[in-house]
C-alpha cells in the first residue's frame, strides 16, 4: 500500500515589521523536529532577514530559506531549511517596529491564501504569527471590515461553505496547560461587549465550547460560566444580567445535556478552574463574558505557553497568544515558545 505524506501545516508570516518572522525562524532553529512538515506562507526576503537575525543572536550560521513554487514541494524541503511560499506583495522587507500599510496588506494576503488552502484540504491546519490591527486598518480597501484574524477567517470560511457570515458563529479560546477560556465577544469596545451579553450569544458560546473542548478531551467538558458583574451581580445588587440573561442561558444549555455551572464570581472562577499538579481544576473551561475578562488570567500564567484557538470554523487555526511586540522586533530577543505551543496544538486538533 502506498502511504501518502502528511499534509503540510501552514504558518503565516504575520506582520513583517513585528516579531512574527523572527519567532518562525527561531522555531525552525531551536526545534527542527517539531517544525518538520511546516511551510511558511509569507515573503522570502523577510524570512531570510529573520533567519540571519536569529542566527546572529545565537552566534551561528543562518538557516537556509527555500522559496517554494507550490505547496506540493513541501516534502522536498531538506531538514534545517525554512520552506516559504511567496504569497504576498512586498518589494522589500519593511522597517522593524513601525505600523505599515504594506505590512498589513501582506499579512492579510498570507492569511487568506493559507485559509483557502486548508479549506480546500491541501494543508492540515494553519498557525498564524501575530498581526498588527493598526496596520490592517491602514491597508484599507477590502481589509477595512476586518479588525483581526478571527473575522477574516470567518469570512473566508463562510464563502467556502456558501453561507452568510451570520450563520457561522465563531469564538476565541485562549488555552495553556493550566487554564482554558472561551469568550462570548471578541474585539469590541467594553461598552459594546456588555451589550453583546445576550441570551443567544451566551448559549451559542456554550454550545461551541462544548463541541470544541469535547473534541480535544475525548469527553464532555465541565464548563464554568463567569458572571458579568462584580460577585456575579450579588443577587441583583450589582447588576441583573446574571439573573435575566446568563442564568437562563445556562439552564437552556443544561436542558440540552451540557455540563455547565454558574454564573460564578469572575474574580474567583478562573482560580477554581486552574489545573495544576498540586490541585486539579474543578472545570475544563471557563466561558468569559468579554475579551479582557477571559484573556488576562490566561496571559498572567505566562504568554510563552498560551495558544489562541478559533472555535467554530471548518478548519484548524491556532496562534501564539502575544502580539507583534514592535518594541523588540529586530533585536533577536523574541521567544518562540508560544508559537511552538500553537504548532503542537494545531497538530493535535488537525483531522
Computed on alpha carbons and rounded to an integer, the radius of gyration of the chain in Å comes to 21
pLDDT the model gives residue 187: 82
pLDDT for position 149: 87
At 136 the pLDDT is: 87
Whole-number Å distance between alpha carbons of 146 and 129: 17
Residue 134 domain-assigned? yes
**Residue 124 forms part of a structural domain:** yes
Structural domain count, the chain: 2
For residue 307, being part of any structural domain is answered with no
* 325 and 287 fall within a common domain: no
Listing DSSP states for 34-45 in one string gives HHTTEEEEE-HH
In a domain, 30, yes or no: yes
Q: Would you say residue 35 lies in a domain?
A: yes
The reply to whether 37 and 147 lie within a common domain is yes
> Domain check: are 46 and 161 in the same one?
yes
Per the DSSP assignment, residues forming a β-bridge with 82 are: 65
pLDDT value at position 215? 84
**Angle CA 340–46–58, to nearest 5:** 55
Predicted confidence at residue 1, as pLDDT, reads: 40
Threshold 0.75, pTM exceeds: yes
Q: Are residues 279 and 341 in the same domain?
A: no
Q: Are residues 213 and 129 in the same domain?
A: no
pLDDT along the chain (351 residues), means of 10: 69 97 96 95 96 91 94 90 94 91 94 96 96 89 77 93 93 93 92 96 97 90 97 88 97 98 96 94 97 92 84 94 93 93 92 81
- Kind and range of the H or E run holding 320: strand 317-320
Q: Is residue 46 part of a domain?
A: yes
Dist. CA 43–CA 39, nearest whole Å? 12
Helix, strand, coil % over all residues of the chain, rounded to 5? 45, 15, 40
Which domain does 323 fall in, by range? 1-169+313-351
**Residue 306 in domain:** no
Q: Are residues 41 and 130 in the same domain?
A: yes
Q: Are residues 74 and 189 in the same domain?
A: no
DSSP 114-151: HHHHHHTTSSSEEEE----HHHHHHH-GGGTT--SHHH
| CATH number reported for the structural domain that contains residue 245 in this entry | 3.40.718.10
**Does residue 331 sit in the same domain as residue 279?**
no
Is residue 182 located within the same domain as residue 252?
A: yes
Q: Is the bond preceding 184 in cis, omega lying within 30 degrees of 0?
A: no
Q: Is residue 148 domain-shared with residue 8, that is, in the same domain?
A: yes
pLDDT of residue 5: 57
Asked if 119 and 33 sit in the same domain, the reply is: yes
159 and 205, same structural domain?
no
User: Could you tell me where the beta strands, DSSP code E, fall in 177-301?
Assistant: 180-183, 223-226, 260-264, 285-288
Closest CA to 58 of 333, 346, 348: 333
Assigned domain for 104 exists: yes
CA distance 40 to 127: 9
For position 2, what pLDDT does the model report?
41
The string of DSSP codes covering 149-185 is HHHHHHHHHHHHHTS-GGGS--EEEEE-SS-EEEES-
Amino acid at each position: 500500500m502506498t502511504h501518502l505524506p502528511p499534509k503540510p501545516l501552514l504558518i503565516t508570516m504575520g506582520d513583517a515589521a513585528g516579531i512574527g518572522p523572527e519567532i518562525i525562524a527561531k522555531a525552525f532553529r531551536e526545534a527542527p523536529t517539531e517544525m518538520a512538515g511546516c511551510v511558511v506562507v509569507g515573503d522570502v526576503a523577510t524570512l531570510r532577514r529573520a533567519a540571519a537575525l536569529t542566527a546572529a543572536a545565537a552566534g551561528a550560521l543562518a538557516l537556509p530559506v527555500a522559496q517554494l513554487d507550490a505547496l506540493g514541494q513541501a516534502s522536498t524541503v531538506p531538514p534545517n531549511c525554512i520552506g516559504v511560499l511567496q504569497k504576498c506583495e512586498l518589494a522589500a522587507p519593511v522597517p522593524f517596529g513601525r505600523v505599515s500599510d504594506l505590512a498589513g496588506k501582506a499579512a492579510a494576503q498570507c492569511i487568506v491564501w493559507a485559509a483557502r488552502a486548508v479549506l480546500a484540504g491541501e494543508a492540515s491546519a494553519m498557525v498564524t504569527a501575530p498581526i498588527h490591527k493598526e496596520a490592517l486598518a491602514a491597508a484599507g480597501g477590502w481589509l477595512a471590515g476586518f479588525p483581526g484574524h478571527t473575522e477574516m477567517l470567518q469570512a473566508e470560511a463562510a464563502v467556502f461553505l456558501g453561507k452568510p457570515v451570520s450563520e457561522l458563529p465563531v469564538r476565541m479560546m485562549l488555552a495553556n496547560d493550566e487554564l482554558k477560556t472561551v469568550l462570548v465577544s471578541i474585539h469590541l469596545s467594553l461598552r459594546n461587549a456588555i451589550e453583546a451579553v445576550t441570551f443567544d450569544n451566551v448559549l451559542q458560546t456554550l454550545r461551541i465550547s462544548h463541541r470544541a473542548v469535547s473534541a480535544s478531551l475525548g469527553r464532555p467538558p465541565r464548563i464554568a460560566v463567569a458572571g458579568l458583574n462584580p460577585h456575579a451581580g450579588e443577587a441583583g445588587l450589582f447588576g441583573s444580567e446574571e439573573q435575566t440573561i446568563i442564568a437562563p442561558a445556562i439552564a437552556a444549555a443544561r436542558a440540552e445535556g451540557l455540563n455547565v455551572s454558574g454564573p460564578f464570581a469572575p474574580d474567583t472562577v478562573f482560580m477554581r478552574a486552574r489545573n495544576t499538579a498540586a490541585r486539579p481544576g474543578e472545570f475544563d473551561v471557563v466561558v468569559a463574558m468579554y475579551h479582557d475578562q477571559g484573556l488576562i488570567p490566561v496571559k498572567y500564567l505566562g504568554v510563552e505557553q498560551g495558544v489562541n484557538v478559533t472555535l467554530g470554523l471548518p478548519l484548524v487555526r491556532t496562534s501564539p497568544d502575544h502580539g507583534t511586540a514592535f518594541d523588540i522586533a529586530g533585536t533577536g530577543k523574541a521567544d518562540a515558545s508560544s508559537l511552538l505551543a500553537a504548532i503542537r496544538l494545531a497538530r493535535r486538533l488537525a483531522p
